[in-house]
Amino acid sequence: MELEKENDIKNVEQSDKLNTLNATTSDEDWQLNDNDSPPLVVQPNPLLPKPEVPKGMINPPISSSKSAKITSRIPSFKKFILDKSQSLSSAITNRFSNEADFGKITEIRLSDVKVIVNFDRNEERFRGRVSFYSRSNCRDCTAVRRFLRDRKLNYVEINVDVFPLREKELIRRTGTSIVPQVFFNEKLIGGLVVLNSLRNGGMLEKKMEEILSAKCPESAPKSAVYGVDDEEDGVDEMVAIVRVLRQKLPIQDRLTRMKLAKNCFSGADLVEHLDCARKKAVTIGKELARRHFIHHVFHENEFEDGNHFYRFLEHEPFIPKCYNFRGSVNDVEPKDASILSQTLSKLMTAILESYASDDRHHVNYVGISNSEEFRRYLSLVQCFQRVDLSTLSVNEKLAFFLNLYNAMIIHAVIRIGHPGDSMDRRRTFFSDFLYIIGGYPYSLSTVKNGILRGNRRAPFSLMKPLSSGDKRLELAFPKVNLLIHFALCHASKSSPAVKFFTHQNVESDLRHVAREYFQREDALQVDLAKRTVYLTRIIKWYSMDFGRDNDILKWLINYVDSTKAGLLTHLLGDGGSINIVYQNFDWSLNS
């Protein structure tokens, strides 16, 4: 008991110190600047246990003496807000505790304040659960999801693209792999057609009352949880050799070509520590390099015997900045790059369908960070560490790097926060958030400017992202596809909507996202009277790609609606001068 009292005294003292510090802050310090974005708060995963208030307690009591001590140190404006909030909370609590039937409470009136309380009637009516099986990029699944959201029904979605092992369960329960398939508790209702038929026939409410009024049984489809529905991957055949070499090889810092190469070993060391003939040892060394377990310190050759220095992938100097690396190299057998690309598209599309607005202009980053789908994404990107991207076709490579950029943006916002309007923070955000892919580091700038733009300088930069001889140049596109600029999201309000692509439709989808973007007022406006065209600042930043003003306007005609196309054609056709004004870019978070 004495120990508990001492802890209580310490807690009170710490609270008093904190409030004293707050009291010395001016009123202006409590306000966000116009350019400041509210901090992104990542909540605990909803599947984890949550702390509960002890029975019989609503809020812990605050002694009057302590309350007086705290409020005396707060400025008058804050004191007024605190007093109002305390009286409001007390009134609501007393009103609720004195009211036998909460369903009757719809409005509470206090002096100068009116509080309207809306209760979710579905929680009172339905104790059961709606579940449905879906796939990514499925129109009928989207319609079912929207229907359930509009009805404010709690539901569990099982996307068989995200959780492939659940497809067997879908077939077992329904006799087909066609989606969507909707369940009320454990009862199969059917697909979108059945759902619409029930609604149009006036039977849906009765069906819901009949089934969902009962508590959901164990036999109903279950939501995905940690460690369940994970596919087992085979271990790379070279892992046993690598694990022995990691223990045996003399790893040291060595001076070579007037440079210090850290954590490396020589080719002769590796050959010596392999218990086999020299020729076979060299073959093994080449295979280890091809699979990106080891690299030459200057990335000059695959593997040679002698006084050439190499290091393990986990010892590369860029590894600490790679956010898809968790302490050790992924020892799983590298998957086919095409399969990984398709999985990335399906997984991220599923995430957007659950945690973004229908138009994809607003993203719920906190919801994504807490989701099982995002945990699977983090596992997926670890498979990128040693993947061979050279096997991708042109369209597969285009879709992969577009999707990679947009996925990395979401991960970066969740992991390190959005840079906002600060130029320095944006530069760090786009250059220092790295993934290791195919044995090499890729930042957001590397993906966009090094690969998709064919190694062109980023805005306000004097140097190209990739130097001559860089192995990543082999993946760079020889020509810039201008439409990529309207397919890459920067997690800001003025940037294009976030989208993920498939290699089958990437060309047509790029044209679609460009047309969609230029329908926005902050992307393109035409004032015929003033002979002025207002354009997105993206085009100014990447003027190297778009060319001269007249070329830009001629190009735009192909991607705007008929009204804007007619106005642009008229301005270009009469031979007069045209003013181009680039609009301000809103860097605030698109949440």
Q: Which residue from 524, 522, 525 is spatially nearest to 494, judged by alpha carbons?
A: 522
pLDDT value at residue 171: 96
What letter would DSSP give residue 103?
G
Per-residue pLDDT of the chain (591 residues; tens, 9 = 90+): 444 444 444 444 444 444 444 433 333 333 333 444 444 444 444 544 444 444 444 444 444 444 444 444 445 554 555 555 555 555 554 544 444 444 444 555 555 555 555 545 555 578 899 999 999 999 999 999 999 988 888 899 999 999 998 999 999 999 999 999 999 999 999 999 999 999 999 999 999 999 999 999 999 999 877 555 566 677 888 999 999 999 999 999 999 888 999 999 999 999 999 989 999 999 999 999 999 999 999 988 789 999 999 999 999 999 999 999 988 888 888 899 999 999 999 999 999 999 999 999 999 999 999 999 999 999 999 999 999 999 999 999 999 999 999 999 999 999 999 998 888 889 899 999 999 999 999 999 999 999 999 999 999 888 999 999 899 999 999 999 999 999 999 999 999 999 999 999 999 999 999 999 999 999 999 999 999 999 999 999 999 999 988 899 999 999 999 999 999 999 999 888 999 999 999 999 999
Spatial CB neighbours of 42, under 8 Å, sequence gap ≥ 6: 365, 366, 369, 370, 414
pLDDT value at residue 584: 94
Element (H, E) at 114: strand 113-116
Distances (CA, A) of 494 to 221, 365, 393, 499: 40, 17, 32, 15
pLDDT value at residue 247: 92
In this structure, how many other beta carbons lie within 10 angstroms of the beta carbon of residue 421?
A: 16
Distances (CA, A) of 409 to 44, 336, 431: 21, 24, 12
Provide the whole-model pTM. 0.77
pLDDT value at residue 56: 42
List the helix and strand counts (H, then E) for the chain: 22, 15
In this structure, how many other beta carbons lie within 10 angstroms of the beta carbon of residue 392?
A: 21
